[in-house]
Structure 1
């Protein structure tokens, strides 16, 4: 998805819990009946592990028309990660990938040196009431992979490993947790998981990764006596074991991994360790040097004038 302009998220009360380094409360932007909440990047934190961009889409319900309709646009230096709780998105890209994304599926598109994609809803769906709710994130690539060939991976919900135990269910989206490893290939050590807890359920969060956070999606959770509702990014201190307890039925995402090899520049849909590479990508898109998206050749998003 293209990086839609909006206000930066604001850091919350960092002293709310001794185990928590920072609380980021995303700023919401209404895109005409469709709300997006951006948690990363924030003024105080650019990345958590390789995650450099983290948007909550919805929840929203459309009666007719409206919805997701993102025209072809380019990316470099990152992987886009789409994970839905509700609804459908039709992904097409310049590799020829043509894939409908449904709840629990993982769409992992590595842009490398450059890729173009579109994200839309199929016309037939726009004639009926429907919902959309999910997370769109970007994972920065290490310097060794920024010029790699683009790759697309899709794994259906049934292909992602799931652990259920004691009122907790965890689907491992990327990386390894609790002895289960996702099939998706990552350029750096990454953790990303979808966790649901029944009321009273508890889930320990492994401290082996230096950078870890959870994003609260639904319900109320408790950590070391402090309570947190939906829509907060809780960034943990390195090395501290964490246990999350659900005060009612709750859902959250676990994310993080090894630190990136330096900060990144972000401009529109481009991420790079080099400002020069971003300038070249801007010129290439302006001059229409990127590949086209088969089946979606007519439309495109122009280069922003900023």
Structure 2
């Protein structure tokens, strides 16, 4: 398998760890530890896949061995002893959830690291080879895991709580004969609702119609119905990971004041090299908690229809009461008394 080195500055991809840093203590040390872990090698066949620039993503046959390199960085002001290991992960509730500690599933057991630890001076960096050896007997299916870099900080302020900081790179490894399962998804159900705090949020449901897990990203573009005002792009703020056959909801915070009225929305979503676009017409009323989709057009005219119905019911009731009070001529020529009510 041909590999290429990731040139993040040249390609414009941010050099951010694929798994967020974690701290086991709720207390922060005065000089907070800072380490980074970045994927260096990707398969040439995936050089245009944004996910493969940050994660170990591949499809291999049983019995295959793949190799990658990761770079560990020490961004603290002192020398650090960094531990390296592989751990398990799973996708639970549309979240890529990494387990605490080492090992935990078959994928993490297939991983061998060139070094289990490195000592780095302030500003130092070290590249470490990662080898994943898939057994011949490995059953088909996609596995999830992470490569971790971890440091421990001594207790601060005379406390007795050991602080552990770690960052990682995700692994998505699919095992099977033949070609890689296709990745695809469908977008529907775009709507507007209250967001966090001041601004509204646009949401949409995404269904994974392919054979591999998806990591959703994308942008929302808004324009007035006249086309004279444009807003955005607004990035997806709650990127979700969706298993094949399942659904997840993406959310975009519209953090810009917009006038009340109808807006045309175009939501562009991606996962890897797969891109899909959804369009809808949404109604904003100018506040964070007042927005409705206009897919049901009767909502736009709802207040007018409601007022007309109230007037009509009132008029019918008034006429009915008036008829009851008007004397009705009886066949005998006499007038009947008003009907009691």
Does TM, scored on the shorter chain, surpass 0.5? no
Structure-2-length-normalised TM-score: 0.25
> Larger Cα Rg: Structure 1 or Structure 2?
2
Q: Greater share of helix residues, 1 or 2?
A: 2
Greater relative CO, 1 or 2 (CA 8 Å, sep 6+): 1
